[in-house]
Amino acid sequence: MTKTQAFETLYGKIEANRAIEMAESIIHWDALTSGVPVLSLPARGAAAGWLSGEAFRRFIAPDTLEAIETLESFGSELSFLESAMVRELGRKYRKAKAIPSEALQAFSALIAQSQSVWETAREKRDYEMILPYYEKIFDYQRRLCDWYGYEKHPYDALLDDFEPGVGVDILEGFFAALRAEIVPLLGSIMDKGDRPEEVVGSFDVDKQKELLPWLTGFIGYDRSRGKIGEVEHPFCTTITRHDVRITTKYHEDSLMSAMYSTLHESGHAIYEQNIDEGLEQYGLANGSSMGMHESQSRLYENMICRSRAFAGVLLPKLQGLFDFFAKWDEGKLFRAVNITRPSLIRIEADELTYSLHIMVRYELEKALMTGEIKAADLPGLWDDKYEELLGVRPNNMAEGVLQDVHWSGGTIGYFPSYAIGTAYGAQWMNEIKKTVDVDAAIKSQDLSPVSGWLKENMYKHGMSMTPGELLLKATGEPFNVKYYIDYLKEKFTGLYL
C-alpha cells in the first residue's frame, strides 16, 4: 500500500464511521427526548446495534492496519495532524484487536442483560440479584487488562481508555492530596455547623424554561447550532459540531437542579462546538479525553456559575421570575448555591465533596483489578469508605453500592475522569486569570475573554493533543493538583470558616 492509498483508506473509514455515529446519535436523541412509541424501542435498539457493529467491522478490517503501519513508517515526514491521526487510530485499532472476538461477543451479551438487572436490583435494593453479573463483568475487565497490556499496574490499562497518560501513579498522588487537605476541611466545616439558607420552594416550570435559555447563552452555548431537550437523566450529544444538543430535567421543587445540570451539559457542548472543523477529516474532532470534557462542564457549572460575581448577575433574573427571591441579596444567594454537606449520592454531591465520592469508586475499582477484593465484598467496603471519607453511611443498597449504572454497563476506569477533570478545570482557570479578569467578564455578562482563551488554547485542538500535552502547552507545566486544592480551600474557607 502506498502512502497515498493509506491516507485514502483511513480518510474513507473516518468519513464512513462519522456518518454512522451521526445516525446512532440521532436514534439515541430521538428515543430519549421525543416520546417515541414504546413498541418501537426494540427495533431502534437493533438498528443502533447493527450500526455500531458495522462501524466496528469496518474499522478492524485488515486494510486499516495496513494503512496505519504504512503511515507509521513515514515517521517525522507526516504533518502534526497526520501523526495525531495515525497515533489515535493505531492506539484504537490495537486495543480492539487485542480482545478475542468470542470474548467480546459474550461480554456484549452479558452487558445487554446486566443493565436491566441492575435497574431491578437497585429498585429492590437487592445486591444479590446483580452479584453474578458483576462477578463476570469484573473478571472480563481483569482479563482485558492483560489483553491490553500494562507496564506498572493492571488498572492503568483501563484508565487509558478514558484518560490517556493518567495512570495509578498519578491518581495515587492526586487522591492522597485530597485525603490530606479536603477531608479535614470538610470536617472543620461540619464541626462549625454553619448552615446557609437553602433554595427550597415551588418554582413554576414555565418560568424555569424562560431562565435556562438565558443561562446557556450567558456562558456561550450557541443554540443556533443545537437545541435543548427534556429527559429523565440529562446528557449532551454531538451530531456534528454544528449540531450539539443538550438536555435537562425540570423539577418544580428543585430550581437549582435544573439550572446547574443544564449549565453542566452546556459546558460539554461549548467544547464540542468550538473544536476546529479542519480536524474532522483526521477523526480528531472530539474532546481530548473524558477528563478534559469534564473540566469544561465543571468549570462553567461551578467555577463561573457558583462564583460571587455570578450570584450578583443571576439574582436580578431570579427576582424577576420568582417571588421566592424578593428579599434575597447577592451574598445570601452565593452561599445558597455553595452549600456543602456530606451526602450519599454522587450525582447530588456539592463541589467540595464531589471528588471524595469518586475516590471511593477509584479505590474499589483498583483493588478489584488486582484481585485484592471480590465483587461480593463491595457493599461492606463501599459503606466503610463512605463513613471514613464523608462521615455518612448508606441506609440501603440504592444509597450505596447500587447507585451508579457504570459497573452494570461494563465501564471500569471511567470514574477517575470525573475528579481529575474537575482538577484540570482549576488549572485552566488559574492560567486564564493571569490574563483575563474573570469576575469583570462575568459582571459585564460577556464571557468572550474566557471562552476565547479556552478556544485558542484548548477547544480548537480537539484530540490532536493528549491531555498532558494540552496542559503543558497552555500552562507551561504538567497536571498539578495544587490548583484544585487551593481553589477549594480558598472558596470554602471563605464561605464557612
Listed in order, strand segments (DSSP E) in 66-190 are: none
Judged on CB neighbours under 10 Å (0-12, 13-18, 19+), 476 is exposed
The answer to whether 270 and 304 are in contact (CB under 8 A) is no
Cell of 208: 424555569
User: Any idea what the Cα angle at residue 198 is, between residues 350 and 417, rounded to 5°?
Assistant: 10
Which residue in the list 24, 88, 163, 265 is annotated as catalytic? 265
User: Any idea what the Cα angle at residue 233 is, between residues 229 and 237, rounded to 5°?
Assistant: 55
Query: Quick one: angle between helices 448-457 and 467-475, nearest 10?
Result: 120
Per-residue CA distances from 442 to 11, 57, 67, 292, 329 (Å): 42, 48, 49, 23, 17
Q: Are strands 243-248 and 228-230 parallel, antiparallel or unpaired?
A: parallel
DSSP annotation of 317 reads: H
Closest among 300, 288, 157, 133 to 216, alpha carbons compared: 300
- Chain centroid to Cα 23, Å, comes to 22
Count of CB atoms situated within 10 Å of the CB of 137 = 23
Active site residue 431: no
Q: How far apart are CA 370 and CA 262, in angstroms?
A: 38
The answer to whether 175 and 168 are in contact (CB under 8 A) is no
The answer to whether 458 and 470 are in contact (CB under 8 A) is yes
Q: How far apart are CA 81 and CA 84, in angstroms?
A: 5
Q: Are strands 236-240 and 243-248 parallel, antiparallel or unpaired?
A: antiparallel
Q: DSSP per residue over 83-107, as a string?
A: HHHHHHHHHHHHHHHHS-HHHHHHH
Find where cell 457542548 sits.
269
Three-state secondary-structure class, residue 413: coil
Q: How far apart are CA 422 and CA 91, in angstroms?
A: 26
Q: How far apart are CA 44 and CA 63, in angstroms?
A: 31
Active site amino acids: 265
